[in-house]
A and B are shown apart, each in its own frame.
Chain A
């Protein structure tokens, strides 16, 4: 079996400003090249915390555990070092950066990712093509990063970056939230266009609907900072039909026995 793209070993994460509050309480997860994993779970279960911690956000603190990326221990690495190695986080709430145009930002990001400047003609060609795939107008590239973007535009802009940066691991943090059906389909097509036997994808979502367009190999359910269940694509359908309650009840029963 090929070497995992991402391996989380007993990851425990708290909030930097509140070190006493642990959000992720021991997660093990392995994603291999070519696999799409979905991480589902009710609000507040720690999905976004996990995503941000894996990407290296200083807002979160690792209490213990290890993050292996392409076989290398990146636990102590800064977010930018992880990104240059090929990690990508699509933000749930992308931040506005006034005064910085999308095109400038993308050029700088690509330069950092590749370790060298890309010829302008090649860069613009690729940008045009990716914009086209995502049904985005070219004027989009001249706007300031996420500044005044609608919810849907922000999510598309994330996928635009994903398409340009071509990472080895893409973590999509609720990229489906706030999108209407057409936008969701466009975004999903953008993600599918990137699926190769080499990339690993972790889709974090509250709902099953994006998984109608992007079929996952594995579905995990995160509850109170722990993976409560893992299964195939059918697990997502089960949640779609019955909600999280059956799993929560089951978990409650287990905890009762333990206590």
Chain B
């Protein structure tokens, strides 16, 4: 009894093992999942919060963040829209688990690429996710239209949501997925876990379209495992939120695999963005390309820490990392740290580039000399700055959509 009391004090009710188990059983989850949730709850209790002493957390100090203070927001308000090809699936994880044709695939993959034990936020997610999405592409099949996963937290709902995606693309499978996240102005915590399995020659495009409210804090791990000649693109739009921290990793295991990581962040006020990327090459002739761009107004901040790792077995690898930060106000800040770890001498090309600075004054004058006010000129320049990163993401209207957000946000931003 005394022991239970101690545990309750350390881990608030919804995150405690008993509560996690009871909630999972109430949802009628299979025994294996209930067991994994229990493990996750134990991992959550045992894992300390990351501290700035850990390099990926150097500029995002969460030691004062009390995850337990954010109670889960009822049933996670997620909808999944998509028409799968024969034998495929696009829907909630709960529906997939209830479907005998898909439950086994889910069991074999869920939580295996991003284990709950990896960290505080991943443990919280594994223990408490509801309404996650599952996308399955059978061998040689393709989704004709993008799968759209919408997480729309109603304005006024405070607490925690746990975005979750499991994507399994078999050999030669093709799919585009868009994850749209929105929330109101109430304090919200969103620890997300996205797992992407790309089989041989599979082609997967995932766009995370983040338009959180001003008091949302997102901590997401996105990891993809690429088989032979698989091609995976993960792109992120960080257009809202108070804190957006995303760790995007590509494990290039199969020979000839190709990973593309793209990111765009538009900050104002006290917004804080933190991107961590890993391009882990172990297959031969693997290629990867990271490009992340931030435009920062007000006192917003953007941090980039990216690692390109080329293992001993990755002869013939090619990798590129690019991080560019535009400071639109004197109070905005950015830190950029691209890192190369090359363990083989047989690399074709490994490049990295990082810049932090104000907008090009000559370009600004050029646009002003054509009648645009300095604010209009910046709107145009920032939209263009992002456009060069978004080109190549096969989603109709994306560039126009992002340009419209830039124009709207910079209309009132502190410059």
Residues of A within 8 A of B (CB): 55-59, 78-80, 83-84, 88-89, 91, 94-100, 104-105, 108-109, 112-113, 144, 161, 165
Given the contacts A58-B365, A108-B376, A99 and B384 also touching, CB distance less than 8 Å = yes
Partner of A84, one of B363, B371, B388: B371
Q: How far is A105 from B368 in the complex, measured between Cα atoms in Å?
A: 11
A-B interface pairs (CB < 8 A), number: 84
Contact B384 A100 (CB under 8 A): yes
A105 to chain B, nearest CB (A): 7
- 15 A-B residue pairs with Cβ-Cβ distance under 8 Å, sorted by A, are A56-B369, A58-B361, A78-B368, A83-B369, A95-B365, A96-B363, A99-B387, A100-B380, A104-B380, A105-B380, A109-B372, A112-B370, A112-B372, A112-B373, A113-B371
Given the contacts A97-B381, A99-B387, A100-B380, A161 and B370 also touching, CB distance less than 8 Å = yes
Interface size of B in residues (CB-CB distance below 8 Å): 24
Given the contacts A57-B365, A58-B365, A105-B380, A99 and B372 also touching, CB distance less than 8 Å = no
Residues from 342 to 367 in B contacting A, C-beta threshold 8 Å: 360-363, 365-367
**Please, which residue of chain A has its CB at the minimum distance from the CB of B360?**
A95
Q: A residues within 8 A CB of B361? A: 58-59
Contact B383 A100 (CB under 8 A): yes
Q: How far is A55 from B371 in the complex, measured between Cα atoms in Å?
A: 11
Contact A83 B388 (CB under 8 A): no
Contact B362 A95 (CB under 8 A): yes
Residues from 373 to 401 in B contacting A, C-beta threshold 8 Å: 373-374, 376-377, 380-381, 383-388
Given the contacts A95-B363, A108-B376, A112-B376, A79 and B369 also touching, CB distance less than 8 Å = yes
Q: B residues within 8 A CB of A57? A: 365, 369
Q: How far is A94 from B366 in the complex, measured between Cα atoms in Å?
A: 8
Residues of B within 8 A of A (CB): 360-363, 365-374, 376-377, 380-381, 383-388
Contact A95 B385 (CB under 8 A): no
Q: How far is A96 from B364 in the complex, measured between Cα atoms in Å?
A: 11
Indicate the member of B369, B374, B385 with the most A CB atoms within 10 Å. Answer: B369
Contact A80 B384 (CB under 8 A): no
A51 to chain B, nearest CB (A): 10
Contact A97 B384 (CB under 8 A): yes
Partner of A79, one of B363, B365, B380, B384: B365
Contact A97 B366 (CB under 8 A): yes
Q: How far is A83 from B381 in the complex, measured between Cα atoms in Å?
A: 18
Q: How far is A55 from B360 in the complex, measured between Cα atoms in Å?
A: 18
**Please, which residue of chain A has its CB at the minimum distance from the CB of B370?**
A109
**Please, which residue of chain B has its CB at the minimum distance from the CB of A57?**
B365
**Please, which residue of chain A has its CB at the minimum distance from the CB of B389?**
A99
Q: How far is A259 from B197 in the complex, measured between Cα atoms in Å?
A: 84
Q: How far is A104 from B400 in the complex, measured between Cα atoms in Å?
A: 11
Q: B residues within 8 A CB of A83? A: 368-371
Given the contacts A59-B361, A95-B360, A112-B376, A79 and B381 also touching, CB distance less than 8 Å = no
Partner of A144, one of B360, B373, B377, B384: B384
Q: How far is A97 from B372 in the complex, measured between Cα atoms in Å?
A: 14
Q: How far is A39 from B286 in the complex, measured between Cα atoms in Å?
A: 58
Q: How far is A98 from B293 in the complex, measured between Cα atoms in Å?
A: 13
Given the contacts A59-B365, A112-B376, A98 and B371 also touching, CB distance less than 8 Å = no
